[in-house]
């Protein structure tokens, strides 16, 4: 089968070679002025736009992804110029990003190892603002292996240093097989397991104190309900599913 994702040739040079396929890490993807602008926009959002979770808070833009389809909402202009730029690299196989999660982590905050799952085109792209972090990768629990306990530590594979203003693109095995997470610590120690040090800059043994990091996780949700279907009269099953879903989403707001 043909490989569905094709990143523009110019960006192939940013492939992280010491990681399983496929990681692209692009330092200084945005300028300092752009970083400041994006942070300003994020913090301008009204308070109810934030959802507080344990260990981070988030803003959801573009609609709530759902197995039955996402009721797509237009992304605001301040995000569009960046999502278009990333879609233009070919990150979503010619489709345009239509969903952005903004995550904010204070020092000592993080996100449990997880998979991003089937609601998205199998690509995740992340712009890092404000502070670096280490994104850690884990093998999934091996269901056939019952004798030895499988701790997080034993499943840990590698980390990526995400500097502020960088862009990360994950696809293929790195998206589909491995779990990713951020540990809730205040100071990172760089080890030889941080496989992109030569490009991200940093020495083994060096420590980096975390500040507040804001990440923009930019994705393409293939299954969307078009708003005009919701107004139509001859509603067929999938359209009805979207309609039901719309009620669910409104209740969640
Ligand atoms: O903040 C990040 O870089 C990771 C966020 C993440 O994994 C997610 O939102 O699914
Ligand atoms: Fe994730």
- Looking at the CA of 57, which ligand is closest? 1
Q: Using the atom order of ligand 1, give the atom closest to the CA of residue 162.
A: 3
CB under 6 Å to ligand 1: residues?
Answer: 101, 103, 111, 116, 126, 135, 180, 215, 217
Q: Is 182 left (phi over 0), alpha (psi -120 to 50) or beta?
A: beta
Q: Are strands 99-105 and 111-114 parallel, antiparallel or unpaired?
A: unpaired
Which of 57, 174, 217, 221 for a ligand 1 pocket mutation test, highest count of atoms within 8 Å of Cβ? Answer: 217
pTM summary value = 0.90
Q: How many residues does the chain have?
A: 253
Of the candidates 16, 14, 42, which has an alpha carbon nearest to the alpha carbon of residue 130? 42
Whose CA is closest to atom 3 on ligand 1? 215
From the CA of 228, how far away is ligand 1's center (Å)? 31
Backbone φ and ψ for 229, nearest 5 degrees, come out as -65, -30
Compute the distance between CA of residue 136 and CA of residue 52 in angstroms, rounded to an integer. Answer: 22
Q: Using the atom order of ligand 1, give the atom closest to the CA of residue 135.
A: 3
Q: Are strands 213-219 and 179-182 parallel, antiparallel or unpaired?
A: unpaired
SS3 string, the chain, reads CCCCCCCCHHHHCCECCCCCCCEEEECCCCCHHHHHHHHHHHHHCCHHHEEEECCEEEEEECCCCCCCCEECCCCCHHHHHHHHHHHHCCCCCCCCCCEEEEEEECCCCCEEEECCCCCCCCEEEEEEECCCEEEEEECCCCCCCCCCCCCHHHHEEEEEEECCCCEEEEEHHHHHCCEEEECCCCEEECCCCECCHHHHCCCCCCEEECCCEEEEEEECCCCEECHHHHHCCCCCHHHHHHHHHHHHHHHHC
| Lowest-pLDDT choice from 75-79, 117-121, 209-213 | 117-121
Percent of the chain with pLDDT strictly greater than 90: 74
- Looking at the CA of 182, which ligand is closest? 1
What ipTM was assigned to the predicted interfaces of this complex? 0.99
Most confident of the following: 64-68, 114-118, 147-151, 245-249: 114-118
Q: Average pLDDT in the 69-74 region?
A: 91
Q: pLDDT tens for residues 236-245?
A: 445 555 665 5
Compute the distance between CA of residue 176 and CA of residue 186 in angstroms, rounded to an integer. Answer: 29
Which of 29, 125, 135, 168 for a ligand 1 pocket mutation test, highest count of atoms within 8 Å of Cβ? Answer: 135
Q: Are strands 50-53 and 23-26 parallel, antiparallel or unpaired?
A: unpaired
Q: pLDDT tens for residues 9-47?
A: 878 899 999 999 999 999 999 999 999 999 999 999 999
Compute the distance between CA of residue 237 and CA of residue 148 in angstroms, rounded to an integer. Answer: 47
Residue with the two structure tokens 């969307």: 224
- Cα separations (Å) of 169 from 93, 109, 115? 13, 22, 15
- CB-based contacts of 240: which residues, under 8 Å, 6+ apart? none
Report residues near ion ligand 2: CB below 5 Å: 116
Q: Using the atom order of ligand 1, give the atom closest to the CA of residue 105.
A: 1
- Domain 9-225+235-251 classified CATH 3.30.1360.30? no
Q: pLDDT tens for residues 152-192?
A: 999 999 999 999 999 999 999 999 999 999 999 999 999 99
From the CA of 171, how far away is ligand 1's center (Å)? 14
User: For residue 19, how many other CB atoms are within 10 A of its CB?
Assistant: 20
From the CA of 227, how far away is ligand 2's center (Å)? 27
């Amino acid at each position: 089968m043909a490989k569905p994702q094709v990143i523009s040739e110019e960006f192939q040079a940013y492939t992280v070679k010491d990681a399983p396929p496929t990681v692209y890490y692009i330092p200084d993807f945005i300028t300092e002025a752009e970083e400041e602008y994006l942070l300003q926009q994020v913090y301008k959002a009204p308070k109810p736009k934030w959802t507080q979770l344990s260990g981070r808070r988030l803003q959801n833009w573009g609609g709530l992804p759902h197995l039955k389809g996402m009721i797509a909402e237009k992304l605001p202009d301040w995000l569009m110029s960046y999502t278009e730029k990333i879609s233009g690299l070919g990150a979503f196989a010619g489709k345009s990003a239509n969903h952005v999660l903004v995550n904010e982590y204070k020092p000592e905050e993080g996100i449990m190892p997880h998979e991003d799952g089937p609601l998205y085109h199998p690509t995740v792209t992340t712009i890092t603002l404000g502070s670096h972090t280490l994104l850690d990768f884990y093998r999934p629990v091996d269901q056939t292996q019952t004798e030895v306990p499988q701790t997080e530590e034993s499943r840990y594979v590698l980390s990526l240093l995400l500097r502020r203003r960088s862009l990360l693109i994950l696809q293929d095995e790195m998206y589909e097989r491995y779990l990713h997470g951020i540990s809730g610590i205040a100071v990172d120690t760089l080890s030889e397991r941080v496989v992109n040090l030569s490009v991200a800059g940093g020495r083994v043994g060096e420590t980096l104190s975390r500040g507040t990091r804001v990440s923009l996780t930019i994705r393409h949700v293939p299954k969307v309900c078009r708003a005009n279907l919701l107004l139509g009269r001859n509603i067929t099953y999938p359209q009805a599913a979207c309609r039901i879903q719309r009620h669910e989403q409104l209740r969640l707001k």
